[in-house]
Structure 1
Amino acid sequence: MNETASKNAEEFGFHEGDVIQEWLWDDDVSDSIRDRIMTLTGEDLVDEDYGAAVNGVIIWWRDGDDEDALADTIVDAYAVLGGDGPLWVLTPKPGRPGAASSITVQSAATTAGMNAATPLTVSDDWNGIHLTPYGKGR
């Protein structure tokens, strides 16, 4: 694992007891990332159909998915995010199937009214891009 990613998922800004919602789950997601988040929070991840506010969000997004759909997903995910909880878009790293350009993610984030941070390596195969609403800093 790259030095920039912890073994305990602290880089996401999630805490014990947090309810984390994941969007666009598919068979290619990283079970190690999911497991690290669940170990850190002590809670199972919930899906898009979860009916209450959450403390954090991860969105699995791959190249070939529609950029406008990503912007819409970011807006929908932020709407159920309680307070100022962390929101992350996870994309396959360059050279992996489905690798997405960080510029594409940044463009979708801008459309959704969010700032996108520089990608962070969160596992051997996935990068994470932390999003914050305009005016909330990076």
Structure 2
Amino acid sequence: MVAAADAQSYVQKLGITADMVVQELGWDEDTDDDLRAAVEDMIGGEILEDDSDEVIDVVLLWWRDEDGDLVDALMDAIGPLSDEGFVWVLTPKTGQPGHVEPSEIAESAPTAGLTQTSAANLGQWSGSRLVQPKSRPANKR
């Protein structure tokens, strides 16, 4: 858990703004409820669960070492993602139960068709921002 003021700061670090559609995958008892509440305050609504059929702006993927195959989870996460949408893989910090090595994210992202663009310190969690590559317009001659 983080203090409410810290949680608001983390939401800004995540690039989440008002009226975005945010989906959460991988929720469990260990997720940061203050951060989740701050996200809902920012977007003015509830975070969507994994069974939503809406187009998603941001996916928050809570991921732990024992959660399975990260590539599969990322492939599922990008299905409903908007063209400009992005995924935050949120993992426990070094020394915390379930810690994921950064190299696992770095290796899994390209396999799922994503590129890592930044990282964020979020209290007991670390975040890795992943985006879909922009399609290049065809050359016009």
Gaps of 5+ in 1: none
Q: Supply the AA of the counterpart residue of 1:51.
A: D
TM, length-normalised to structure 2:
0.83
Q: Structure 1 stretches (4+) deviating beyond 6 angstroms?
A: none
What is the match of residue 138 of structure 2?
A: none
Higher strand share: 2
Give the RMSD, CA atoms, in angstroms: 2.0
1:130 maps onto 2:132 in alignment: no
SS of residue paired to 1:39: helix
SS of residue paired to 1:107: helix
What is the match of residue 72 of structure 2?
A: 72
What is the match of residue 13 of structure 1?
A: 15
Rounded Cα–Cα distance in structure 2 between residues aligned with 1:37 and 1:52: 18
Rounded Cα–Cα distance in structure 2 between residues aligned with 1:111 and 1:23: 19
What is the match of residue 46 of structure 2?
A: 44
CA positional deviation for 1:86: 2.4
Which deviations, in whole Å up to 9, do the C-alpha atoms of 1:56-109 show, x marking residues without a partner? Answer: 11100001222xx21122122111012212211000000111111111111111
What is the match of residue 82 of structure 2?
A: 82
Cα contact 2:58–2:81 (8 A) shared by 1? yes
Rounded Cα–Cα distance in structure 2 between residues aligned with 1:11 and 1:92: 17
Rounded Cα–Cα distance in structure 2 between residues aligned with 1:41 and 1:135: 25
- Structure ranking higher on relative contact order (CA contacts 8 Å, 6+ apart): 1
| Greater gyration radius | 2
What is the match of residue 103 of structure 2?
A: 103
Q: Supply the AA of the counterpart residue of 1:28.
A: D
Cα contact 1:13–1:86 (8 A) shared by 2? no
CA positional deviation for 1:8: 5.6
Q: Supply the AA of the counterpart residue of 1:40.
A: M
Cα contact 2:115–2:130 (8 A) shared by 1? yes
Q: Supply the AA of the counterpart residue of 1:41.
A: I
Give the number of aligned pairs.
131
What is the match of residue 32 of structure 1?
A: 34
